[in-house]
Amino acid sequence: MTTLTPVRKQSLSDAVFEQLRDQIVSGAMAPGSPLPAERVLCEALGVNRGSVREALKRLQQSRLVSVRHGGTSHVLDFRASAGLDLLAELIITSAGSFDTRVVRSIVEMRSALAPDIARRAAERARPAQLEALDRVVAAMAASAGRLPVLQSLAMDFWSQLVDACDNLAYRLAYNSLRATYDQCRELFTQVLAGELGDLQRYRAIAAAVRAGDPNAAEARARALIRRGERSITTALRQLERQQRNPR
């Protein structure tokens, strides 16, 4: 059986879930293979059956395992079955460091979605949504130089655009990306200083959305997001070098 270590922290079900999730995502538990029986897991992990069952329920909800007839659980190929919510679970490795591949995936998805979100917002925004967007831009202007505040306001800016684009899939994807980003936002506060402080481009995006100009909104959003992507990519390379060569 795959090596498991006794659980020593609370909550027990969370700790069990994390160990089994990591084994599945790492490939230590191969897709299609059966999970050990509840009794075996209890003994290996040093927890009660209730904790194991709660963890297995979460694994099933995350689409990491399937429960077949008779109650046996089998590992799923998470790349084919899991959803965006899993990103928040994967961004921190079992060693407690950031998984740069996951962070890079989030950054690239952000860069792909943001221009189209701005385009759709320009096509569909309602007056109340335009007013809300203008309020966020005004708050950003009043917070110049205060990076943590600007970081939160930038997230609000994009949230307003997502609402304005009236696309449920984009809203749910944004929610998952934001939940994941929130776990490492402090890491990127300084890295994103150029993007966060680029009030001119935020204003330009809002103006294009207000004017109902989807082409301009898309182009201006792409220019802003690419600025941040370049900075994050550089920071990730530095982080990867540090992880490979710790002092």
pLDDT at 8 over 70: no
Cβ-proximal residues to 145 (8 Å cutoff; 6+ apart), any chain: 197
Could you count the other beta carbons within 10 Å of the beta carbon of residue 107?
Answer: 21
- State the pLDDT at residue 7: 46
51: tokens are 């904790």
Provide CATH code, domain 99-244: 1.20.120.530
Global model pTM greater than 0.75:
yes
* 50 within 8 A of 44, measured Cβ to Cβ: no
Mean pLDDT throughout 121-128? Answer: 97
Among residues 116, 62, 67, the alpha carbon closest in space to that of 84 is found at 62
Domain 12-82, CATH number (from 3.10.450.50, 3.40.50.1980, 3.80.10.10, 1.10.10.10): 1.10.10.10
If you average pLDDT over each of 65-69, 131-135, 173-177, 178-182, which comes out highest?
131-135
Give the residue extent of every domain in the chain: 12-82, 99-244
pLDDT at 1 over 50: no
pLDDT at 4 over 60: no
- More confident call, 183 vs 119: 119
**pLDDT more than 70, % of the chain:** 95
